[in-house]
Amino acid sequence: MPPLPSSARGAAITGWGRALPDTVVTNADLEARMDTSDEWIRERTGIAERRIGGSTASLSIESGRRALACAGVDPASIDALILSTTTPDRTVPATSATVQHGLGLRCGAFDVNAACSGFVYGLAVANGLIAIGAERVLLIGTDTLSRIVDWTDRNTAILFADGSGAAVVEAVGGRGSLLGWDIDADGSAEDLLFCEVGGHLHMDGKEVFRRAVRIMVDSAEKSLAASGTSVDDIAMVVPHQANIRIISAACERLGIPMSKTALALAETGNTSSASIPLAWFAAADDGRLVPGDLVLLVGFGAGMTAASAVVRWTGAGRP
Ligand code: UT7
pLDDT tens per residue across span 55-93: 999 999 999 999 999 999 999 999 999 999 999 999 999
Indicate if ligand 1 lies below 6 Å from the C-beta of 209. Answer: yes
pLDDT tens-place string over residues 154-199? 999 999 999 999 999 999 988 899 999 999 999 999 999 999 999 9
118-142 pLDDT per residue, tens: 999 999 999 999 999 999 999 999 9
d(CA 274, CA 85) in angstroms, rounded, equals 8
CA distance 243 to 150: 19
70 noted as active-site residue:
no
Alpha carbon separation from 313 to 5, 15, 30, 225 (Å, rounded): 20, 11, 38, 18
Q: How far apart are CA 55 and CA 52, in angstroms?
A: 10
Residue 94 has pLDDT above 60, yes or no: yes
Distances (CA, A) of 177 to 2, 4, 163: 16, 11, 25
**Cβ 177 vs Cβ 10: under 8 Å:** yes
Residue 102 CB-half CA count within 13 A: 17
Enter the CATH code of domain 10-172: 3.40.47.10
Phi-psi region of 138 (alpha: psi -120 to 50; beta: other; left: phi over 0): beta
Name the residue at shortest CA distance from atom 40 of ligand 1: 36
- Global pTM reads 0.97
Distance 284 CA to ligand 1 centre (A): 32
From the list 27, 127, 240, 243, the catalytic residue is 240
pLDDT, tens digit, for every residue of 264-303? 999 999 999 999 999 999 999 999 999 999 999 999 999 9
- pLDDT tens-digit profile of 9-65? 899 999 999 999 999 999 999 999 999 999 999 999 999 999 999 999 999 999 999
In this structure, what are the phi and psi dihedrals at residue 122, rounded to the nearest 5 degrees? Answer: -60, -35
> Given a cut of 50, is residue 206 above it in pLDDT?
yes
- Is pLDDT at 5 greater than 80 in this prediction? no
Where are the domain boundaries for CATH 3.40.47.10 in the chain?
10-172, 178-312
Distance CA 18, CA 142 (A): 10
* pLDDT tens by residue, 40-52: 999 999 999 999 9
pLDDT of residue 173: 82
Q: How far is Cα of residue 137 from the mean position of the Cα atoms in its chain?
A: 16
What is the topology classification, in CATH, of domain 178-312? Peroxisomal Thiolase; Chain A, domain 1 (3.40.47)
Cβ(44) – ligand 1 distance below 6 Å: yes
